[in-house]
Amino acid sequence: MRFLPAAFFAFTLILGIFLFDDYGISWDEPIQRDLGNANWNFILHGDDSLFRLINKYHGPFAEIIEVAPEKILQLHDERIIFLSRHLLNYLIFWIGSVFLFLLGKEVLQERWLALLAVAMLYLTPRIFAHAFYNSKDIPLLSFFIISNYFLLKFLKKPSISLTIVLALVSAMLFNIRILGIIIPVFATFFFILNLVNKNLRTSTLKFLFAYLILFVLFAFSLYPVTWHDPIGSLKEAFRVMSHYPYDDPQFFLGELIKPQQLPWYYIPVWIGITIPIVWQLFSLTGLMLLLITILLSLKSIFKKSWPWLLIVSWCIVPWLMVVLIHSIVYDEWRHLFFIYPAVLLIACFGIRKLFEAFQHVKHTSLKAILRSSSIAMVVIQGLVVLQFMIINHPFENVYFNHLAGKYPQQRFDLDYWGLSYRQALEFLAANAKENSIKVCWQNAPGNYNLIWLDGEQRSRIREMPFSSSEYFLTNFRFNPEQYTDSAWNTIRVNGVTILAIEKPY
């Protein structure tokens, strides 16, 4: 058991290195690459093209990291550039998972439960797929874990070194998405809470003040778009990012709905249909037990078990913010992926509490049945999810559990970011007989994924209007009425077509 975590992390690192080149290019990747390039060029060369980008207020930190190989090694091959981005994105996720284990050890006080939380993270198919190509939400998830780990250590025993490290990592988080401002808010609240409960001395307030000052300095230093007008730019960034100007319709519960009109339950429904059901059951159990414990022993919780208040706050507060300020969310629940580690820690808390309750069962056979049943639920769910991931790789991003119903394509978006265009184009280049293949794709990722074809294959592909094309590729985004199972060729996940190649004539 002692060496199991090291073996697990070695395996997941090697796994990512073997798999990172299997995924297509998602809808947002080129524009995120442009953001990284613009920030890099502004920092090093004073190029002001950054200020003309539509997404200039998006946090640049992860994008600068992912554009570094392209700049430092002077890469020009787009295929190599995007592969390097996919590998770096996975490495950020992998580092975040290591810190989830460390954080789990702090709050769960059991190595096996901490490792279970990490395993459940990897065995959430959509999260695993996004780990390779989503440079917005996966770095946010990872740095939320890292920031909360150092925040917990800081709140337990403040020091100069922890003050500096926490300020730096939380500033990095802020510069991935400004929602990271939650960490300084949590730091202030829980520091004062520990002062009131005499867990900390008044003399340690200097560390809190130092942290807040350093956070502000680091946050502005890492956010180039704010350098010319720190206060004004930051206010504009908060305005834009809290109500991002996006109005493409979302296919939700069988209807196309503008993001501004999505109901409050949009996020809960997407969470409910895309997280393995057993993980949800244990997280709901853990949350219920935590809330009961808080209500029955408020004084004790605030004084001794405040770390769990921090975890619950991490889980609930962001979603409440989205609901209360009517933030624009879309593309399932990816904007809230960062709360998922807290959900998993709460799930493992629920497992621990259930096992503790089983200890009080006097009947030995019943105790064994209860423990075995709980373990069996976790193992069976893990194996079912793993089977799905192996069979449907690299389309783990289209995982639905049984709550989505038998025909999720009739109610929800599928491969909304268009990663499957890669495999469709590769199939077309290998199987179409024409020397010049006239193709129309339904949206931009069709064009982005041409980079995976070699020179000869790519030269055969000619983008044409629909009326002049010989092949039409669609992932049905914004056009669910295009859905078909009887096209010339289809890419399917668990029998559901996620992309169709049709012959218009």
- The SS3 of residue 412 is strand
| pTM, rounded to two decimals | 0.96
The C-alpha atoms of residue 446 and residue 475 are separated, in whole angstroms, by: 9
Tokens matching residue 307: 């770390």
Provide the 8-state DSSP code for 481. Answer: G
Q: Which parts of 134-181 fold into alpha helices (H)?
A: 137-156, 160-174
Q: Decide: 37 and 67 in contact? Cβ < 8 Å.
A: yes
Note whether residue 389 is domain-resident: no
Same-domain check for residues 330 and 229: yes
Same-domain check for residues 65 and 188: yes
Count of all residues that appear for the chain in the document: 505
The C-alpha atoms of residue 243 and residue 437 are separated, in whole angstroms, by: 42
The residue segments making up the domain with residue 427 are 415-502
- The SS3 of residue 474 is strand
Note whether residue 320 is domain-resident: yes
* Cα distances (Å, whole numbers) of residue 393 to 262, 287, 389, 406, 492: 31, 32, 6, 20, 11
pLDDT number for residue 60: 95
Structural domain ending residue among the three candidates 302, 320, 348: 348
Same-domain check for residues 204 and 111: yes
Q: Decide: 219 and 166 in contact? Cβ < 8 Å.
A: no
Structural domain ending residue among the three candidates 348, 367, 395: 348
Dihedral (C-alpha) 232, 235, 240, 241: value to the nearest 10 degrees? 130
Same-domain check for residues 338 and 459: no
- pLDDT per residue, tens digit, the chain (505 aa), is 678 999 999 999 999 999 999 999 999 999 999 999 999 999 999 999 999 999 999 999 999 999 999 999 999 999 999 999 999 999 999 999 999 999 999 999 999 999 999 999 999 999 999 999 999 999 999 999 999 999 999 999 999 999 999 999 999 999 999 999 999 999 999 999 999 999 999 999 999 999 999 999 999 999 999 999 888 988 888 888 777 778 899 999 999 999 999 999 999 999 999 999 999 999 999 999 988 887 777 667 777 889 999 999 999 999 888 888 878 889 999 999 999 999 999 999 999 999 888 887 878 888 788 889 999 999 999 999 999 999 999 999 999 999 999 999 999 999 999 999 999 999 999 999 999 999 999 999 999 999 999 989 999 999 999 999 999 999 999 999 999 998 999 999 999 999 999 997 6
* Chain centroid, CA 27 distance in Å: 15
Note whether residue 394 is domain-resident: no
Q: State the Rg of the chain over Cα.
A: 24
Q: Would you tell me how many other CB atoms lie within 10 Å of the CB of residue 123? A: 20
Same-domain check for residues 422 and 301: no
Which is nearest to 217 in space by CA: 154, 153, 162, 174?
174
Is omega for the bond preceding 394 within 30 degrees of 0, making it cis? yes
Q: Would you tell me how many other CB atoms lie within 10 Å of the CB of residue 477? A: 22
Same-domain check for residues 56 and 190: yes
Same-domain check for residues 254 and 144: yes
The C-alpha atoms of residue 122 and residue 115 are separated, in whole angstroms, by: 11
Q: Domain tally for the chain?
A: 2
Same-domain check for residues 343 and 433: no
Same-domain check for residues 77 and 219: yes
Provide the 8-state DSSP code for 224. Answer: G
Structural domain ending residue among the three candidates 348, 373, 402: 348
Phi/psi of residue 322, each to 5°? Answer: -60, -45
Q: Would you tell me how many other CB atoms lie within 10 Å of the CB of residue 324? A: 9
Provide the terminal-to-terminal Cα distance of the chain, rounded to the nearest Å: 62
Note whether residue 420 is domain-resident: yes
For 133-150, b where at least 16 C-beta lie within 10 A, e where not — what string?
bbbbbbbbbbbbbbbbbb
The C-alpha atoms of residue 372 and residue 378 are separated, in whole angstroms, by: 10
Provide the 8-state DSSP code for 492. Answer: E
CA quadruple 137, 138, 141, 147: dihedral positive or negative? negative
The C-alpha atoms of residue 89 and residue 69 are separated, in whole angstroms, by: 12
* Chain centroid, CA 298 distance in Å: 33
Note whether residue 366 is domain-resident: no
The C-alpha atoms of residue 125 and residue 392 are separated, in whole angstroms, by: 10
Q: Decide: 351 and 154 in contact? Cβ < 8 Å.
A: no
- The SS3 of residue 88 is helix
Same-domain check for residues 430 and 314: no
Note whether residue 387 is domain-resident: no
Same-domain check for residues 339 and 426: no
Sheet with 437-441, strands from edge to edge, namely: 461-463, 437-441, 471-474, 496-502, 489-493
* Burial status of residue 353 (CB atoms within 10 A of its CB: 0-12, 13-18, 19 or more): middle
Same-domain check for residues 431 and 336: no
Note whether residue 384 is domain-resident: no
Note whether residue 475 is domain-resident: yes
